[in-house]
Structure 1
């Protein structure tokens, strides 16, 4: 028998460590060659680690959520071969110690949450008043009698309060000759929710500690870094999308085998057409080097909600696509992100991001910039409202209109308020006159 130490390999350029997001084996289990050992997450993607040998797992390097340095031992496997076996050494120093020391160590199968040990009551605390035994002949009413048939003595105010709370006064212990508000308070405090339930109220649920790991931790770190480093400002304006919605409906009615169009492809076309006039919007800011790079191509990040959390797949060279091509690419990338099949290069390199909550878009949003980009655009939900307009005779008329607010958050170190407002006005012109989206 021999032991093979599997060291975490270099899984990406510039990656110094990776996070354990899932174990696929337990200590004491047999693993076959090329079978999955663990899922490791870097800043860019989740990578599956496969076993290079067959054998029994005897040691695992940490729990879900732990960070493992590149080059440190991830797992130790006892093989059937004779002689000591080890993974090829790396230049990276080993910093992470093995947690499980023996084959009999505790199995690691999921995130374990410590449950607080109940503490004994401290001396000097007032004991809960004793509660009468349950009424054997059925519950009494709040204005009725005790278990022994004696009439409950209480003021009208106490009776009214007990009725509102759904409390049976026959179960409340009185310290004096009648039940007072203090007695009712003591019953509510010490009954633990037994014997009453306020009408229309919800019962409290147990607290649920959840370890922040994997994608959720990456999102938390990135959002915190963005808000900490970038002085955000948000500009919001209203757009009349009535004509655009009519055009979209006509195109969908005659799309044939092409994908159904949402509002997003039209907005992306408008974004790409206005970028050349406002190059400071499509940029990334390296604040350590003090360099702002304005990009000629629009690599548009598309914020996508998945079961694992928010991901941002990238539409490469969005400026070269028409609405049909954009619709296909949006569907493909969103599906890849939600199923975990998006490639590393499809999740990095964006120069500008758009984020949309669809029908949940709200009146206005203040989206957080996808650092190191300098701007993020957020269309909000479409609502129908009456608006004033001029009729052909020059008079006023009221008509139905579909309106949408559009938000843009910018890095104030790079983009001025005037630039952001002017850019949104240029977008508004294209959106409200959609034929311009297809004009050369």
Structure 2
């Protein structure tokens, strides 16, 4: 057999190195041509690396989290005889084969099978010799919970054939009296998780932002009773249009306010000492994914109506969470919204998406009594938080910007005015 040296190809955009996010093969594995070998992360996106030949894996370059230089050996493969060569070869994969960006949220776990291993089953048999021949039937979720609680499933009586969460609950309630378990269960073992891939990129970006930007935050209370009433009415008559959430309405209010506060829709190059105040609003929408926080971008948000914004928010959220967002969709924002939805809390102090100079965070909407002149009425109230770069944005400007947004949100008919 011939030995094939697969070198990390030039994936363009001036990239010098890429980080190993995950291996999908191990030494000794047989691979087919075009089979996925690894996921490599650059500053722009995560790239799938595929084997250009069939054969057996001899050597891999490193562990997840390690960086590999362009042109360096990524994998060594013993080729199948029908690949047509008897000599050792060293070939770089053409860059166009690798340009299929994804995000770490699309990376499957290495082992999606039953988390109960053979050794765990043997331990169970050793601890309960009378139960050794009884096959323990339980879902992976139940097994994982039992393991976290320190419960031996062989001691749990099931109502049916399978042990279920209700059976674990019953064991926790009554098992202690029989000497099987403590009230709280065993302590979970310490877990060491290496910070790699998207998680490391987020960590680096947040550290850079907090290290370089003097943040300040401002919070204002907004009565959104009329806004929520209008949103409900619009949704009731939307037909085939997408369902409206608060975000399209808030983005519309921001876009209508930005022309009077150009310093808010800006990016600061602190090395060159230049603030670029952008005419178009490229709105970043922080989106939680399985792999971590991503910020897909709504291009030209100021030119879209509320229905178009709703459709684009839904599309970008789906592409981000499914791992299909492109690097272009995840870069170039000029102002960012970070929303935790129902978990929005009372107030927040979001970290700025550097090199932007501001980030806005709507908080949870709550119902409570408010004074209206001499009357008391029920109202829906939301706090709106903003964090700003104090090097280029003054507190007065930030407060005035939020107050202008508040006036629009409290008189929502203005959002639909030409």
| TM-score calculated relative to the size of structure 1 | 0.73
Describe the shift of the 1:208–1:89 C-alpha distance in structure 2 as closer, same or farther (beyond 3 A): closer
Describe the shift of the 1:33–1:203 C-alpha distance in structure 2 as closer, same or farther (beyond 3 A): closer
Match of 1:289 among 265, 268, 272: 272
C-alpha separation in 2, matches of 1:238 and 1:429: 11
Match of 1:313 among 291, 296, 306: 296
Pairwise mapping of residues 14-33 of structure 1 onto structure 2 (< 5 A)? 14-33=14-33
1:83 aligns with 2:87: yes
- Equivalent residue for 1:410? 388
Structure 1 consecutive aligned stretches of length 4 or more whose deviation exceeds 4 Å: 195-199
Q: Tell me the C-alpha RMSD between the 2 structures.
A: 1.9
- Equivalent residue for 2:172? none
**Structure label with greater radius of gyration:** 1
1:398 aligns with 2:376: yes
Map Cα deviations across residues 345-366 of structure 1 (whole Å, 9 max, x no partner). 1011111110000111000000
- Equivalent residue for 1:223? 206
Question: What SS is found at the alignment partner of 1:271?
Answer: helix
1:425 aligns with 2:403: yes
**Maintained 8 Å contact 1:384/1:402:** yes
Describe the shift of the 1:243–1:368 C-alpha distance in structure 2 as closer, same or farther (beyond 3 A): same
Structure 2, unaligned runs of 5 or more: 95-109, 112-178
Pairwise mapping of residues 16-415 of structure 1 onto structure 2 (< 5 A)? 16-79=16-79, 80=81, 81-88=85-92, 201=184, 203-390=186-373, 396-415=374-393
How far 1:10 moved relative to its partner?
2.1
Greater helix proportion: 2
How far 1:14 moved relative to its partner?
2.7
Question: How many residues are paired up?
Answer: 333
**Maintained 8 Å contact 2:41/2:47:** yes
Map Cα deviations across residues 179-238 of structure 1 (whole Å, 9 max, x no partner). xxxxxxxxxxxxxxxx79876x56422111111111111111111111011110001000
Further displaced range: 44-53 or 372-381 = 44-53
C-alpha separation in 2, matches of 1:358 and 1:436: 24
C-alpha separation in 1, matches of 2:52 and 2:185: 53
C-alpha separation in 2, matches of 1:291 and 1:16: 27
C-alpha separation in 1, matches of 2:348 and 2:68: 37
C-alpha separation in 2, matches of 1:330 and 1:373: 20
**Maintained 8 Å contact 1:10/1:70:** yes
Structure 1, unaligned runs of 5 or more: 91-108, 111-194, 391-395
Map Cα deviations across residues 373-431 of structure 1 (whole Å, 9 max, x no partner). 111000000011111113xxxxx111111100000000111111111001001100100
Question: What SS is found at the alignment partner of 2:262?
Answer: coil
**Maintained 8 Å contact 2:6/2:93:** no
How far 1:11 moved relative to its partner?
2.0
Q: Which has the higher contact order (CA 8 A, sep 6+)?
A: 2
Question: What SS is found at the alignment partner of 1:280?
Answer: helix
How far 1:291 moved relative to its partner?
1.1
**Maintained 8 Å contact 2:267/2:277:** yes
| TM-score calculated relative to the size of structure 2 | 0.77
Question: What SS is found at the alignment partner of 2:263?
Answer: coil
